[in-house]
Each structure stands twice: as C-alpha cells, then as structure tokens.
Structure 1
Amino acid sequence: MPPTLMTTISAEIEAHCGHRLLKCRRLAKGWTVARAVAAAHQLVETRGLAKVGLSERSWKDWEAGVLPSPDYQDLLCRLFATSPVQLGFARDYSPTAADGTSPLGSGNGLDGTLLEGKAASTSAGSRTLMEVEPTKRRDAVKLAGLAMAAPVAAAQILEQAATEAMEFTRQAEATSLGSGTLDHLDLAITEFNRAYSIKPPRAVFDAVMDYRRKVDRLMKAPHTHRQERELLTFAGWLSELLAWLAHDLGDARTGLAFATDALVHGQEAGHGQLCAWAMDAAASINLYERHPHKARLAVAKGLAEASARHPLTVRLHAQAARAAAADGDAEGFTTAFHAAEDAHRSLPTCAPRRFGMDVMPLADYALTSYPATSFIWLGQAEEARQHAERALATYKAAPKASRSPSREAIARIDLAMAHALSGAPEDAVALGHQALDSTRVVDSVRHRASDLTSFLTRRFPRRPEVEGLRDRLAALDANARRALPAAGPDA
C-alpha cells in the first residue's frame, strides 16, 4: 500500500472512529494485534535489530495511550514507515507556508484539506446542537440542584468537583504492580506451557502453584481495572495448566477443582477461549474417572465459549465423541465425530497459536487418537487399529515443539488394545512395553496401560509375557506413589 494512501485511510479511521493514531495505522494495514506483534518481530529479525520482548499486552497498552519507550517508538516508526508524529507519539510545531500553523499540530496526522473538511462538518453540525443543547443543559442543571445555588456556592461546588475528579483519577491509576510485572507473568506462563510435556509434572506443578499464589496476592493488592482483567486471565491460565498437571499426578479431584477455577476466572475476565480450554481439561479428567456424562456436560460448556473456526472446537467435538463411546452410545459417537470432522474442514489455513505454540496438531491428534480409543470402547478392533496407526504417524510428523510423549504413549496403548482385540497378544505386549518406555509416563498413561494389562490377563491368562508387562506396570505405579508427597497436591 502506498504511504500516502496508508496515511489517508488512517486519517479517515481517526476522524470517524476516534481511535488513537497507532491503532488507526494498524487497522489501516488490516492487522490484528497479534499480526502486528508478529510483523514487528519479523522486522527485527529481517533488519538484524536488537531483540525485543514485545507482547500483545504491551501493544494494547500503547493503543490505550501508554507511551512506548524511545526504542519501541523507533521500531513502530520503522514498521509503519512513518514518523512519531503520525503515530501520536509527538507533535509537529513547525509552521506551514500557507497559514503559519502545522497541519499536524493536533497530532491527528491529517493533511490540511481533510482538516478543513472535518472543521466544516463540525461547524455544520454545531448549528443543530445550538438549537437543542441550551434547553437540555438547563434541565440537567435544574435536576442536579445547581441552578438553585448562589453563584459563589456554585463555584465552590465546581471547585470541589474538580478536586474529586483528580482523586477519582488517582485511585483509578493506583496500582502496586511494577511496570514489568504483567510482562513477566506472560513470559512465565509461556515457559510453563513449554515445559509441560518435557519436564516431570511434580516439579512443574510446584513451580506453577507458586506463581498461582503470587497472582492471587497481586489480585488482592491495589491495581487498575485494566490490570484486573489481565490478572484474572493469568490466574485462569495457570489454573488450567494446574488442572492438567494434577491429572498427570493422578489427583482427579484437584484437577477438576483447578479446571473449575480456570473457568470462573475466564468468565470474570470475559475470556471465552480460556473457558473453553478449561472445559477441555475437565472433559478429559472426567473421562479417565469414568464419568462420561460429566465429560459431555463439560464439552457443552466449552463449545458455548469456543470460536467455531478454532482447532479447540475440533478437539471438543472429538471429546464429545469419545465420551459417547465410553457411554456405549455408538450413534452419539458417530454424530459427534462427524461434527469434529466438519469443524476441522472449516479451519483457517493460518492456525492460531497458544503461548507461542501451534495448536493445529492438537486438532489433528483429536481426529486420530480419540476415535482410536473410542473404537476400542465400542469393540471395533480394525477401526481402532487404523486410527491408532494414523495417530502415531501424526505425532512423528509433528514439529518437535508440538510433540507429546505421553499422548504418543497412549496412542501405542490404543494400538496394543486393537491387537489384543484381534487376538494378537504378542504384538499387544510389545507395544505396551514401548508405551512404558516413554519419557513421560504420567497417570493417564499408566491408567490406560492398566486397562491393557487387565484385558490381556482376562483374555490370555497365565501368559508369561502378559505377566511381565503387568509386573512392570505395577513397579511404575509403586514408584509414582512414592514420588508424591503424603498429602495430595496443594489445591
């Protein structure tokens, strides 16, 4: 887009919508905040500039009126190929040749012609206002009782009101949060989510729980209304992660408590996507606790909050299919799974990211591994085998950052169950051992492995290879219990 056209579009947005100039420039480019932040990081990388820790939260602060540092002002000017004046960061006091005033003096970035047009429009509109406003103003003053006060008293009232207005402003801006606190929380939650699949759940749980307590203390200390919404969101994301970690540690009660906490904080923050992720966790936990009806209720709450064109919607429909299969409802499984497939076909080509990670693999996994488990519960061995093999192939093709050792282990157990249902215990036992070789044998893996060994023991009693797998799982369960503290995780 030519710079002059960009300036004109930005000016029109400012004139008609009243946004600050930085937001007008972004909207003129057709960017979301996330896209603008990504473009800034790309510019830094392309131009070899100094690395920055720019986040969506910081960008929104700037659009709300917070002045960026000089370094960030320079980056934004480079990004939009313009000056600080046209982004609202400075004023131009240089005179023009025509009338000795600056066309940018108002800081709105409009050229002289547009300024005249805007002034003419305001002047034309003011004639109508002049006919109506005096009567309304007198009525309003009478209602407030100000018209009955003597001139001196009225002046005192207005002076007191000015003092109160300043106090209102001071209280609205009062906060105990340091300038970098929210950015720090954003980075910390990102790192926790990256560590989730690669570090022991006990260690991650303790670290995340510590931050959840810190956020709770920050919420009880003075902060602005804008900061409150962000703190509610951070608290919700931490609780959503704690729900999964508690589930991995084998404590369903704690996991469901944190899932509920994440839902409530997401609702208070008006963050529908957070609510949907929280209910995804609740659905999984309830399924492992053999409460498919509760899982279905959680899915319904999540779908009410999730965007129709988000990979999470695919996952939630697949969760509903899995819950129906666990309930023995073959028709309900088919309906929900077709809904998941339809949602997957409508996903955008550019998938959203969650804490810097691509969430599309989660949708792909839900369409392969979830039905594999479902077909096992429905007793359909061949369909289970096909989907389990696809799930393993999906994991192998996924980027390293998106790999999940525990989910891959569960896919191997699903494939083992399919072989067991088909009457091939040797293959089932071999796959069971491969699953237990995983670097992350959490409670859900051991839970599914227990289903496998129980089925093999019933179907193929006194087979030494089956007893060997069962003994290995028993040893892993004993080690896991010893690794936990005497009391359950602090909820």
Structure 2
Amino acid sequence: MKLAGLAFAAPAAAAQILEQAAAEAMEFTRQAEATSLGSGTLDHLDLAVTEFNHAYSLRPPKLVFDAVMDYRRKVDGLLKAKRTHRQERELLAFAGWLSELLAWLAHDLGDARTGLAFATDAFVHGQQAGHGQLCAWAMDAAASINLYEQRPGRARDAALKGLAEAPAGHPLTVRLHAQAARAAAADGDAEGFAAAFHAAEDAHRLLPPRSPRRFGMDVLPLADYALTSYPATSCIWLGQADQARQHAERALATYEAAPEASRSPSREAIARIDLALAHAQLGDPDDAVALGHQALDSARVVDSVRHRAGDLTTFLTRRYPRQAAVEGLRERLAAVDAAARPALASVPSPGK
C-alpha cells in the first residue's frame, strides 16, 4: 500500500519508501538463503547414498539396513531444520532414495510390509521433490515385493504407476514393462505377458547409445537382466518349461559375464532356481537338485532366493516324492530358513 502511493509522494518521501523497500528486499534474500545445514551436508549425503547402493549386493542386508535406516532418520531431522527451498528439494530426494533402498533391503530380509511402506515413502518424497525417476524406481521395488507376496494385480498397478513417472528412453522403462509382464504371468495371463514383454523389448531397442548412471553405477544391466531373468520366471509360472530353460540359461550367462562390480549373487541364485525348475518340469530332477544346491551356495541367500528355492523344493517333493536327493535339498533349505530368522525378527518397522 505504501508503494501504491509512491507516484503521489513528495521526492523525499518517495526516496525514503524506496530505501525501506530495498532494505526489505535484502531481508527477503537473507531469509531465502538462511539455513542450518552445513556447507558439506548435501555432498556428504550424496556420497553416503552412493556407498550404500554399492554395498547393497556385497554386504549382509541386515547390516546395510541398519546403516541406511540411521541415515534416513538423520535426513528426516534435517528436513525439520531451517533450510532453503533448493536444499529442501534435495533433502526430499535423498530421503526418497534412502527409503527406496530400505524397501529392497526389507524385501531381502523377508518383511514385505516394511518394504512396501518404504516404497510408498520413496514415491511420496519423490513426488514432493519433483523427481519422477525416483518415483519410478520406488514403484519398481513395489512391483517386485508385491509379486513375491503373490499379489500380481498390485504388482502390475505399481509397474504402470512407475511407467507414468519414468523418463522416456531410460532403461527403467524396460524393467517396468518387464515387471508388468511378470505380473501378468503370475496371474496366468499368457497374452498379457506376451504383450507387456514385447513392450519391454521395444523399449530396450529404443534406448540411447549412452546409458545413464545411478549413483555412479550403469543402470543398463538392470534392463538387460529384466529381459532375461523375468521371462524365465514368467515361463515357469506359465508352464512353458522349454522356453523357461532357454531364458534361464541366457540369464545365468548374462549374470556370470557381468563385471565383478556389477555382479549380483542373489540374481544369479534366482536364475539357477529358474533353470532348476525348468529341468524339474522337463523331467530331470537330478540337474534340478544340483542347481538348487548351487543357488543355496550363493554368498547372498536373501528372502527372494529362499522363497524361490521353496517353490523348487515344493515342486520336486510333489513330482518326485521318494527321491533322497530331493529330501536332502528340502532339509538344507529348512536349515537356511532357520538361520535367517534372527535377522528377520530384528527388522524395525517404519516410524520405530
């Protein structure tokens, strides 16, 4: 209102009004830049999230979960402190990335409820940060967790929700189409599987020459893995044993050929189980049992590996009930499950 009367004010009064406005503008600027964050806080968080992502496939999941959870709580505290709008967006994104990783770690530890809660938290923080790619990664995690919980409809919904947020031409679009294909197969929908898998293949062909990186890691292998391992699992569920065997062999070859830094012991183990199930369906229990033992020899026998190994032993026990080798594999899996229970019992739920 003062400035509205500026045109009618005397020169001296006008100068005083403008001087006061300039002082207020400086205060506005100071408030916009005011923050309680240290100068290196965001750089430190970027480094920490990068290290956590590198550790994901290499360290015990419970150990990584505890460390990531500690940082997630710290970021929550920083979001409640005084910070600039730009810093707030970056902190929201870091909170989302930490929750996305916690979703996978909780899934690895066998706690689907906690995993889905963190996947939702990652999606919401990604939305608040205006970070579509983060939202898409969160839904990739939600799709996998729902599949292992035998909720294919929710898995498909999560994959489609992620596709709506994923950047065009990103390898993540391949994974999400492949997730939708896997969900259709889990639901017994062979036509839906074929359509979604063709969409994944089309998206893969349209990827640009240079692959994007996520916290220093090339994400193209994640798309390549989805085009081999997901159809192997899907064909098992659809009863297409010969196609499953071919896909599983390609998946295993792809994993074994990956650079050491990109190797994923748990994915390799699941590929072996898919191949074992294909052999079992094709009438070769001996190779199936041998591959099952190889999968349990993995350095990272997480819940998804134990879950799929349970599918294998259940099928073998039903199809070949009198074979001692089958019973031996079933007993070994039971021992592995028993050893994993203490870690599962100590996974905190979100908010605790």
What interval of TM-score do these two structures reach, taking the shorter chain for normalisation?
over 0.9
Match in the other structure for 1:478: 338
Match in the other structure for 1:333: 193
Per the alignment, do residues 328 and 267 of structure 1 end up closer, same or farther by CA in structure 2, a change over 3 Å counting?
same
State the Cα deviation string for residues 102-152 of structure 1 (Å, max 9, x = none).
Answer: xxxxxxxxxxxxxxxxxxxxxxxxxxxxxxxxxxxxxxx999233344544
Structure 2 residue 126 is the aligned partner of structure 1 residue 263: no
Amino acid in structure 2 at the alignment position of 1:449: A
Shift of 1:157: 2.7
Shift of 1:165: 1.1
Shift of 1:156: 3.4
Structure 2 residue 207 is the aligned partner of structure 1 residue 207: no
Shift of 1:160: 2.2
Query: Contact between 1:251 and 1:488, CA under 8 Å: does it hold in 2?
Result: no
Query: Contact between 1:325 and 1:333, CA under 8 Å: does it hold in 2?
Result: yes
Structure 2 residue 206 is the aligned partner of structure 1 residue 346: yes
Shift of 1:155: 3.4
Aligned equivalents of 2:197, 2:26: Cα separation in 1 = 58
Kindly report which structure 2 residues correspond to 1:372-411, keeping only aligned pairs within 5 A, or say none: 372-411=232-271
Instruction: Among all aligned residue pairs of Structure 1 and Structure 2, give the percentage whose two residues are the same amino acid.
Output: 83
Aligned equivalents of 1:196, 1:221: Cα separation in 2 = 29
Amino acid in structure 2 at the alignment position of 1:323: A
Query: Contact between 2:109 and 2:343, CA under 8 Å: does it hold in 1?
Result: no
Structure 2 residue 104 is the aligned partner of structure 1 residue 231: no
Kindly report which structure 2 residues correspond to 1:79-478, keeping only aligned pairs within 5 A, or say none: 144-478=4-338
Aligned equivalents of 1:308, 1:385: Cα separation in 2 = 32
Query: Contact between 2:97 and 2:122, CA under 8 Å: does it hold in 1?
Result: yes
Unaligned stretches of 5+ in structure 2?
A: none
Match in the other structure for 1:91: none
Per the alignment, do residues 175 and 142 of structure 1 end up closer, same or farther by CA in structure 2, a change over 3 Å counting?
closer
- TM (norm. structure 1) is 0.70
Query: Contact between 1:308 and 1:343, CA under 8 Å: does it hold in 2?
Result: no
CA RMSD of aligned residues (A): 1.5
Query: Contact between 2:103 and 2:119, CA under 8 Å: does it hold in 1?
Result: yes
Amino acid in structure 1 at the alignment position of 2:250: R
Amino acid in structure 2 at the alignment position of 1:398: A
Per the alignment, do residues 472 and 488 of structure 1 end up closer, same or farther by CA in structure 2, a change over 3 Å counting?
farther
- Give SS of 2:164's match: helix
Per the alignment, do residues 456 and 348 of structure 1 end up closer, same or farther by CA in structure 2, a change over 3 Å counting?
same
Query: Contact between 1:243 and 1:259, CA under 8 Å: does it hold in 2?
Result: yes
Query: Contact between 1:321 and 1:337, CA under 8 Å: does it hold in 2?
Result: yes
Query: Contact between 1:246 and 1:489, CA under 8 Å: does it hold in 2?
Result: no
State the Cα deviation string for residues 401-422 of structure 1 (Å, max 9, x = none).
Answer: 1110000000000000001111
Query: Contact between 2:2 and 2:17, CA under 8 Å: does it hold in 1?
Result: no
Aligned equivalents of 1:153, 1:296: Cα separation in 2 = 67
Aligned equivalents of 1:451, 1:432: Cα separation in 2 = 11
State the Cα deviation string for residues 22-78 of structure 1 (Å, max 9, x = none).
Answer: xxxxxxxxxxxxxxxxxxxxxxxxxxxxxxxxxxxxxxxxxxxxxxxxxxxxxxxxx
- Give SS of 1:469's match: helix
Shift of 1:167: 1.1
Aligned equivalents of 1:303, 1:402: Cα separation in 2 = 24
Query: Contact between 1:352 and 1:358, CA under 8 Å: does it hold in 2?
Result: yes
Per the alignment, do residues 275 and 487 of structure 1 end up closer, same or farther by CA in structure 2, a change over 3 Å counting?
closer
Shift of 1:487: 6.1
Query: Contact between 1:395 and 1:408, CA under 8 Å: does it hold in 2?
Result: yes
Query: Contact between 2:72 and 2:99, CA under 8 Å: does it hold in 1?
Result: yes
- Give SS of 2:299's match: coil
Amino acid in structure 2 at the alignment position of 1:165: A
- Give SS of 1:412's match: helix
Aligned equivalents of 2:342, 2:102: Cα separation in 1 = 21
Alignment length (residue pairs): 351
Unaligned stretches of 5+ in structure 1?
A: 1-140
Amino acid in structure 2 at the alignment position of 1:343: A
Aligned equivalents of 2:92, 2:346: Cα separation in 1 = 31
Amino acid in structure 2 at the alignment position of 1:385: R
Bigger drift between 201-210 and 394-403 goes to: 394-403
Aligned equivalents of 1:418, 1:201: Cα separation in 2 = 29
Higher relative contact order (CA 8 A, sep 6+): 2
Amino acid in structure 2 at the alignment position of 1:264: V
Bigger drift between 466-475 and 152-161 goes to: 152-161
Aligned equivalents of 1:444, 1:203: Cα separation in 2 = 18
Query: Contact between 1:357 and 1:401, CA under 8 Å: does it hold in 2?
Result: no
State the Cα deviation string for residues 235-266 of structure 1 (Å, max 9, x = none).
Answer: 11101000000000000011011111111111
Aligned equivalents of 1:299, 1:148: Cα separation in 2 = 62
Aligned equivalents of 2:270, 2:282: Cα separation in 1 = 18
Query: Contact between 2:152 and 2:183, CA under 8 Å: does it hold in 1?
Result: yes
Amino acid in structure 1 at the alignment position of 2:341: R
